[in-house]
Amino acid sequence: MEYNLLVERLTKQGVDVEDVKAKLKRQHIETPSWGYGNSGTRFKVFAWNGAARNIYEKLADAGYIHKLTGVAPSVAIHIPWDKVEDWQELAQAAQAHGVAIGAVNPNVFQDDQYKLGSITHPSAAVREEAIAHMVECCEIMAKTGSALLSLWFADGTNYAGQDSISERKQRMEDALKETYKHLPAGSRMLIEYKFFEPAFYHTDLADWGMAYATALKVGERAQVLVDTGHHAQGTNIAHIVAFLLDEGRLGGFHFNARKYADDDLIVGTTNPFELFEIYHELVSAGEAARDVAYMIDQSHNIEPKLEAMLLSVLNCQVAYAKALIVDRKTLAERQRNGDVLGAYRVMQDAYETDVRPLLVQVRDEMGVPADPIAAYRADDYAQKVAQERGSGVAGSSGYPG
């Protein structure tokens, strides 16, 4: 009954409910391999009983989350953490679990030689080593069927005068241009940014503008990756999203939430309206947002790994559903008429709408549980893997940033 009433209301507003349902069924949220293992904060990693110990167990967990939601069909991998001997075998293992290999993420920030940077390091030898690793990741992409090279750098300086900022900029551009040559056909390079940490005087890619300017120099298939936690307080991320979409340079997202800085909390938990605003811009962009990649990138440290990942996917699903039901015809009219609060109320109305009956219907038609969290809690998967895997090892962070 609730679903029928919601359909009646949305239809009166001119919303094509069947189209909304079709788009929700096509939603794609990529989960990260590292989110299933024991990774956590920069302070400490608390071991979770049942955490995945290797990439094959991570794929099994990812397949389970996709089975519960129907909208998490790919898994991002991090190299060398997820390195294997046979990449085609890994792709086949992913397929056996109902998922595929998604973005490939190089690691050029943990080894000792990268203390002063990787592709911006003063030493040409260190820069060449970092480039070689990124080229290796391009080769892994080709072997696994991945279409995304996802790049984040810890490069920067801690003190004034430590290094030439302009020379580091040039080194970065040169390194990315060289790596770009090795991208598999049809694939993309996503360039992430972060305004501080671990570099505290300056970060070589500190904001979306720097990432955008760099992508323009690298090539048409180089785009910006927006991590929702990588901004200064008060930054309007929806504005950044709209700008990059209009420029054709929004490549993807790393979804998480923050209260203070890069807290890496579950997406949608601290500011759900912000997530709705972001999805509204994506929906409004239409075809311009067609190839945007949506990925989770969070630190599940005190939360159960699987339930945290499941909640992350579902929060994105709710935000997307609310963005899809915005009465865009009325919104456009009120915008043209300069009706400031009237336009805002259109947004508020969609945001405050209970979309759960709609999502239950969509899940029923997709053949997945109507309430994935309840299904997870009623299932014995977590208990089984806990018995099989144990608690793993706790220690310092293995989190990618």
Q: Helices 381-389 and 55-69: crossing angle, nearest 10°?
A: 170
Lowest mean pLDDT among 103-107, 114-118, 298-302, 383-387: 298-302
Q: What would the pLDDT profile of 361-375 be if each residue is shown by its tens digit? A: 999 999 999 999 999
What's the average model confidence in pLDDT over 134-161? 98
Q: How far is Cα of residue 261 from the mean position of the Cα atoms in its chain?
A: 17
Measuring CA to CA, which residue among 60, 77, 172 is closest to residue 118? Answer: 172
Give the model's pLDDT for residue 390.
Answer: 86
Reported as a pLDDT band with limits 50, 70 and 90, residue 392 is low
What's the average model confidence in pLDDT over 340-357? 98
Give the model's pLDDT for residue 396.
Answer: 41
Q: What would the pLDDT profile of 4-37 be if each residue is shown by its tens digit? A: 999 999 999 999 999 999 999 999 999 999 999 9
Q: What would the pLDDT profile of 87-108 be if each residue is shown by its tens digit? A: 999 999 999 999 999 999 999 9
Q: Is 186 helix (H, G, I), strand (E, B) or coil?
A: coil
Q: Is the pLDDT of residue 118 over 90?
A: yes
In order, the DSSP letters of 192-220 are: E--SSSS-SSEETT-SHHHHHHHHHHH-T
Question: Is-contact 85 98, C-beta < 8 A?
Answer: no
Percent of the chain with pLDDT over 90: 93
Give the model's pLDDT for residue 391.
Answer: 76
Residue 161 has a CB neighbour count (10 Å cut-off) of 8
Side chain identity at residue 157, one-letter code? T
Q: Is the pLDDT of residue 61 over 90?
A: yes
Q: Is the pLDDT of residue 62 over 80?
A: yes
Cα→Cα distances 59→36, 40, 66, 99, 296, Å? 9, 19, 10, 8, 15
Question: Is-contact 275 265, C-beta < 8 A?
Answer: no
Angle at 271 between CA 266 and CA 274, to 5 degrees: 110
Q: Is the pLDDT of residue 331 over 50?
A: yes
Average pLDDT, the chain: 95
Q: Is the pLDDT of residue 284 over 90?
A: yes
CATH number attached to the domain at 2-389:
3.20.20.150
Give the side-chain half-sphere CA count within 13 A for 396: 1
Give the model's pLDDT for residue 393.
Answer: 57
φ, ψ for residue 32 (rounded to 5)?
A: -95, 140
Residues whose CB is less than 8 angstroms from the CB of residue 263 and which lie 6 or more positions away in sequence, other chains included: 229, 256, 257, 270
φ, ψ for residue 103 (rounded to 5)?
A: -65, 145
- Residue 330 DSSP one-character state: H
The whole model's pTM is what? 0.96
Angle at 216 between CA 213 and CA 220, to 5 degrees: 155
Cα→Cα distances 136→13, 179, 247, 311, 332, Å? 52, 10, 30, 33, 48
Q: Is the pLDDT of residue 394 over 90?
A: no
Q: Is the pLDDT of residue 244 over 60?
A: yes
Question: Is-contact 75 101, C-beta < 8 A?
Answer: yes
Residues whose CB is less than 8 angstroms from the CB of residue 234 and which lie 6 or more positions away in sequence, other chains included: none
Give the model's pLDDT for residue 397.
Answer: 45
Q: b/e string for 282-309 if b means 16 or more Cβ within 10 A? A: bbbbeebeeebbbbbbbbbbebbbbbbb
Which of the pair, 396 or 221, is modelled with greater confidence?
A: 221
Q: What would the pLDDT profile of 43-53 be if each residue is shown by its tens digit? A: 788 899 999 99
| Run of H or E including 79 | strand 74-79
Q: Is the pLDDT of residue 144 over 50?
A: yes
Give the model's pLDDT for residue 39.
Answer: 77
Question: d(Cα 119, Cα 167) in Å, to the nearest integer?
Answer: 11
Q: How far is Cα of residue 115 from the mean position of the Cα atoms in its chain?
A: 26
Give the model's pLDDT for residue 41.
Answer: 65
| Run of H or E including 275 | helix 272-285
Rg (CA), the chain: 21
Q: Is the pLDDT of residue 134 over 90?
A: yes
Side chain identity at residue 21, one-letter code? K
Q: b/e string for 163-179 if b means 16 or more Cβ within 10 A? A: beeeebbebbbebbebb
Q: Is the pLDDT of residue 320 over 50?
A: yes
Question: Is-contact 51 391, C-beta < 8 A?
Answer: yes
Q: What would the pLDDT profile of 167-213 be if each residue is shown by its tens digit? A: 999 999 999 999 999 999 999 999 999 999 999 999 999 999 999 99
φ, ψ for residue 294 (rounded to 5)?
A: -115, 115
